[in-house]
Amino acid sequence: MIYVKTPPTRLDPSAVSPAARGRHRRALAAAVALVVSAAGLLAGASEAQAQTEAQHLPAITLQAGMHLIRAELARTPAERQTGLMFRRDLGPNDGMLFVFEEPAVQCFWMRNTPTPLDIAFVEDDGRIVNLDQMAPLSDDSHCSKKPVRFVLEMNRGWFAKRGIQGGFKLGGAPFSGAR
């Protein structure tokens, strides 16, 4: 077979019927809408992916008697809202310390959090007000018994294995400069 390449020709716009121009405009508009829709789906997929990925935040070291805790710090509203969601596992001495601007009764739940956790509500000086156990993927609310600025989440059983109860005092930078 022999192919002959011919130069493209330009149509005289007046030679194209109004109906053909209308079909062309509708096809072009549909193509643009398809591209915009695809871009929106991709952006939505990226957002959904980000909402299902565990966050990993900078960490500090806390002391619970002779035990050291590697606690990621959740300081902003967005970091606190996500917390340990989607986290499948924590290291044996890893947790997350939620830091609030002002003392208040703090309440937490376990939506989108598949790891069973213990929660400690902590006063400014590091003293644990109360502890609770939280079931994975539950919307049950777990609240502090009085206003606190700090909340520490650890693997389920971490506090009990170390004999830590309400009234126990944690150490570390956040608690040394009590307000």
- CATH, residue 122: 2.60.120.1140
**CA–CA separation, 171 vs 155, rounded Å?**
19
Could you report the per-residue pLDDT of 80-106, keeping only the tens digit for each? Answer: 999 999 999 899 999 999 999 999 999
**Residue 15 confidence (pLDDT) above 50:** yes
Average pLDDT over residues 67-87: 97
Could you report the per-residue pLDDT of 97-153, keeping only the tens digit for each? Answer: 999 999 999 999 999 999 999 999 999 999 999 999 999 999 999 999 999 999 999
Closest to 78 (Cα-Cα) out of 37, 43, 103, 50: 50
In the three-class reduction of DSSP (H, G, I as helix; E, B as strand; rest coil), residue 38 is classed as: helix
For the beta carbon of residue 144, count every other beta carbon within 10 angstroms: 23
Same domain for 80 and 99?
A: yes
Same domain for 82 and 127?
A: yes
Tokens of 122: 């902590």
Same domain for 69 and 143?
A: yes
Same domain for 35 and 81?
A: no
Range of the domain at 47: 16-51
Same domain for 64 and 81?
A: yes
**CA–CA separation, 90 vs 77, rounded Å?**
22
